[in-house]
Amino acid sequence: MSRLEAVGAQLEAPLLVTNLTNVFYLTGFDSSNAALLVRPGAETTLYTDFRYAEEARAVSGVECVITKRALMRDVGERLSGRVQFEADVLPYLEWERLNTGRAELVPTHGLVDSVRAVKDDDEVAKLRRAARIADRALEALTAETWVGKTERQVAWRLQELCHAHGADDRAFESIVASGPNGARPHGRPTENVIERNTLVTIDWGVQADGYHSDCTRTFSTGGVLPDRLREAYEVTLAAQKKAVAEIGAGMTGVEADRIARDVIEEAGFGESFGHGLGHGVGLQVHEAPRLSTESDDTLVPGHCVTVEPGIYLPGLGGVRIEDLAIVRDDGLDVLTSFPKELIEVR
């Protein structure tokens, strides 16, 4: 079954796809101004403006309609009857423009995302390649000197190494967080100089062939680590390993999160783990499903997820350890391979 057929099979009324990532996923058409009308049974119309006409007409299996630059208003005037739309991504102003027509607009959520969340073999191969590129770049970085450099210098060097090892782009702005800055889960690299006797958390990823990787490792800069930081590392590692070993298809996102959270809470660090255990990764760095205390998702084979518990101690530092993995019937197929035991860097 094609991707369009998989979406069309779910529909009771036509669905207007306005999430550009979803348009690309379903058709391979990459544009800054497009919409896709998928009807029950998968009959599909692709709307875009003159700038993308040639590329749009080359897309197989869809009817191509060239619109005005103000695409939503133009499309709205063409639609009638009951039409579903992606309520979670369509801005209110664009909804107003779409609503000037005759169609009855019905909000929906996640119809394409649920299909996109299940990766096929080709997608898994691309995700695996992205993870391998990122692993090799970080391995090269650990052979260099970090102590005495700023977080920004190390982050920039990591970006260079990712490109050198085959990345098309970085997946997101890398996090290099040393010392107390490591207590910020999404701390941005600063001009702080990396010192000895502390931890450095690096959260990085690459984009390759359109797909992303996402991984985190925490390193020691040698010397004598504060006991609280060393304990936080050991607890985080135990929680992460347990989650990787036990998560599998059929488990809810809440149940998956609970595996790691129980380990951290039992060690007395519960209040220091304030984010969810993980999220989906694919054409976007953050997509379905979610592994968290608030998740509504159930894991199925083919889901690509991160497993990333962390402990954050304000004024002292932090630890996060993250792998990228594919959900299988019998557990997780881990794509990231960089060692998780505490490594000392110079």
The Cα–Cα gap between 41 and 44 comes to 9
Q: What length is written for the chain? A: 346
Tell me the residue type at 40: P
Output the six-digit token pair for 247: 């998560």
The Cα–Cα gap between 34 and 27 comes to 11
Contact of 327 with 302, CB cutoff 8 Å: yes
Q: How many CB atoms lie within 10 A of CB 71?
A: 20
Helix axes 121-142, 151-164, angle to 10 degrees: 130
**Model confidence pTM above 0.85:** yes
Alpha helices in 81-214 (DSSP H): 92-98, 111-116, 121-142, 151-164
- SS3 of residue 216 by DSSP: strand
The Cα–Cα gap between 167 and 91 comes to 32
> What does each of the 346 residues of the chain score in pLDDT, given as a tens digit?
899 999 999 999 999 999 999 999 999 999 999 999 999 999 999 999 999 999 999 999 999 999 999 999 999 999 999 999 999 999 999 999 999 999 999 999 999 999 999 999 999 999 999 999 999 999 999 999 999 999 999 999 999 999 999 999 999 999 999 999 999 999 999 999 999 999 999 999 999 999 999 999 999 999 899 999 999 999 999 999 999 999 999 999 999 999 999 999 999 999 999 999 999 999 999 999 999 999 999 999 999 999 999 999 999 999 999 999 999 999 999 999 999 999 999 9
> Which position has the token pair 């860097």?
345
Contact of 317 with 340, CB cutoff 8 Å: no
In the prediction, which pLDDT does 1 show? 81
| Plot region of 74 (φ>0 → left; ψ -120 to 50 → alpha; else → beta) | alpha
Q: How many CB atoms lie within 10 A of CB 208?
A: 24
> Which position has the token pair 């984010």?
275
Task: Delineate the domains of the chain, giving CATH numbers in brackets.
Answer: 3-116 (3.40.350.10), 121-334 (3.90.230.10)
The Cα–Cα gap between 319 and 311 comes to 5
Tell me the sheet residues that pair with 152.
none
The Cα–Cα gap between 272 and 312 comes to 5
The DSSP-derived string for 5-45 is: HHHHTT-SS-EEE--HHHHHHHH----SSEEEEEPTTS-EE
